[in-house]
Amino acid sequence: MSTLNSISTNYYRLKTISCSSGATKLATGAKNNYYKVLSLESERVGFDEIKKAYRSLALRHHPDACPASRKEVSTKMFLELHRAYETLSDPVLRRRYDNEMMRMDGIGRVAVRSDFSRDVWEEQLRSFVRLHQYIQQASQGH
């Protein structure tokens, strides 16, 4: 039975979604809109457009390709570009980011209203159902 508890505990750790951690990161860490960081005119862009924008700006702001006098500013911009690209190029992270951005007020603070979209809650519920089924099967020896 301890193996079953260990499996369910490890599965739960991997699948847990913190409702506040992402919003806190956005409110304190991500000062800029990632779409604007990548100079994208719309939030309705595909992966190819995100990749193209990232490559273009990354080449321009890469710390090794800039004058020594701009190295610090260039490094910060390059890191922000990389964070934006990592977030927007991953469908799961992008959906979570978009949901969190909808909850922000105009100056980067989390708005009072803090509900997640229906699809986030439904995905969490499906994860719990899968975990429950997995635990039941494991306890029955299947």
Of 75, 123, 70, 68, the residue nearest 95 (C-alpha): 123
pLDDT in tens, the chain (142 residues): 444 555 444 444 443 333 333 333 333 344 579 999 999 988 889 999 999 999 999 999 998 988 889 999 999 999 999 999 999 999 999 999 988 888 765 555 554 444 557 777 788 889 889 999 999 999 887 6
Half-sphere exposure of 30 (CA within 13 A, CB side): 23
For 39: left if phi > 0, alpha if psi spans -120 to 50, otherwise beta; the answer is left
Whole-model pTM over 0.75: no
- What domains are there in the chain, each with its CATH number? 20-139 (1.10.287.110)
Residue 6 belongs to what H/E stretch? helix 2-15
Per DSSP, helices labelled H in 62-108 are 71-89, 91-102
Residue 112, pLDDT score: 44
Residue 94, pLDDT score: 92
Residue 18, pLDDT score: 32
Residue 116, pLDDT score: 59
